[in-house]
Amino acid sequence: MGLRTFLAIDLPSSLQAAIGRNIRTVKRELPGLSWSKPENLHINLKFLGETTESQVDQIRHAVEPAISHVSPFELELKGFGVFPDHRSPRVLWVGLGGALDSLTMLAGCIGNAVVPLGFPQEGRPFRPHLTVARVKRDHREVGRVLGTLGVFTDPFACGPLPVERVTLFKSDLRQTGPIYTKLWDVSLQA
């Protein structure tokens, strides 16, 4: 049995806690959503999926040199949206601002680095975001969902989000929600 893995930017615990406080505030108002656990919040760079134990080190050896020219940078949380669209939302996300060119370049370098290991290129463009909830059932009250998002505004004015490393996570899917475990991380050092 293989591992289910992804490469991501882990969030500082202070930011996870701030988002968690806001999730608790609005959870009762939005029963049709399954909210992310604060400790699971991250910025996904590349979903790898099924991964063998031997590939874990191979991924590190591929990613490390591929991102060696990328310097640490800063992002900020900015705005809200839904995927795929407002008529039929499935995912509620927080947008990102700041050094988006650096983030997109980082995701591209990682995506290219793992192709030789058998992980396919993404079929769609990279859309930087932070998933905070998923729609559990048909939820057509999009106006109400988006109107409630004003509750999130203040804690997201928490200053810059430093991006200093890339982490490989293992995801164990459970009935109570996924459990993410860090397998390794690589620092940005250019």
User: Tens digits of per-residue pLDDT, 41-83?
Assistant: 999 999 999 999 999 999 999 999 999 999 999 999 887 777 8
Residue 190 and residue 175: Cα distance in Å, rounded? 41
Residue tagged active-site, from 42, 69, 86, 139:
42
Active site residue 139: no
Residue 95 and residue 118: Cα distance in Å, rounded? 30
Low-confidence ranges of the chain (pLDDT < 50): 151, 154-155
**DSSP letter assigned to residue 36:** P
Residue tagged active-site, from 61, 86, 129, 139:
129
Cα dihedral 144→145→148→152 (10° resolution): -170
How confident is the model at residue 103, as a pLDDT? 98
Can you give the residue range of the structural domain that contains 155?
3-187
Question: pTM for this structure?
Answer: 0.88
Q: How far is CA 144 from CA 23, 29, 72, 78, 89, in A?
A: 16, 9, 38, 20, 12
Q: How far is CA 25 from CA 28, 29, 187, in A?
A: 7, 8, 34
Question: What CATH number does residue 14 fall under?
Answer: 3.90.1140.10
Distance of CA 85 to the CA centre of its chain: 19
How confident is the model at residue 138, as a pLDDT? 58
Count up the domains in the chain and report the number.
1
Cα-Cα-Cα-Cα dihedral sign, residues 175, 142, 131, 116: positive
Active site residue 129: yes
How confident is the model at residue 148, as a pLDDT? 58
